[in-house]
Amino acid sequence: MVIIPHMLVGAAIGVHSKNIGAAFLFGLISHYLADMLPHWEYLDSPKLEGIKGLLKIFLDFLIASSLVIFLVWDYPEKALIISFAIFGSLLPDFLMFAYVNLKLKFLKIPQDIHSKIHNSKTFSFWQGLPVTLLVIIVSILLII
C-alpha cells in the first residue's frame, strides 16, 4: 500500500490513543493489516533504481504529510502520540527499503515477516484504488 493510507491510519490511531507505546504498537500492527488488503503499488520492487522511484516516494510522503498536518491541526496536545503512531505505521516499509537497498542483513527477519503478510497479488491502479480510497476515507472520518 502507498504511504498516504498508512500515514492516515497512523494519524487516526494517534488521535484516539492516550499512550505513546500503544500508539506506536497499534500503528505498527495497522501497517500489516492494511498490507493484507488488495491494493496497488506504484513501485514494482522495493529496489530503488533511479530518481523516478525516489520522486514517487517523495511526492507520496509530501501529500500524506500535508494531509496529516491539515487533519490533526486541532490536536496539538497529541502531536507526539500521533507522530509515534505514524512512525509505527511506516516502519515496516522503511525496514524493507533498508534491507533491500542498503543490504542490511540483520533486517532479514522483519523483511520475511512483512513479505509473508503482504498481499502478494499484483493489482492495477484501478483494481487497487477502491480499497485504498476506503482506507483513506475511513481514516479521515476517524480523525475529524
96-139, pLDDT tens digit by residue? 988 988 888 999 998 888 888 887 777 888 888 899 999 999 99
Where are the domains positioned within the chain? 3-143
In contact, 48 and 97? CB cutoff 8 Å:
yes
Predicted confidence band at 19 (pLDDT cuts at 50, 70, 90)? very high
Say if residues 75 and 23 touch (Cβ distance below 8 Å): no
Task: Please report the pLDDT score of residue 12 as a whole number.
Answer: 98
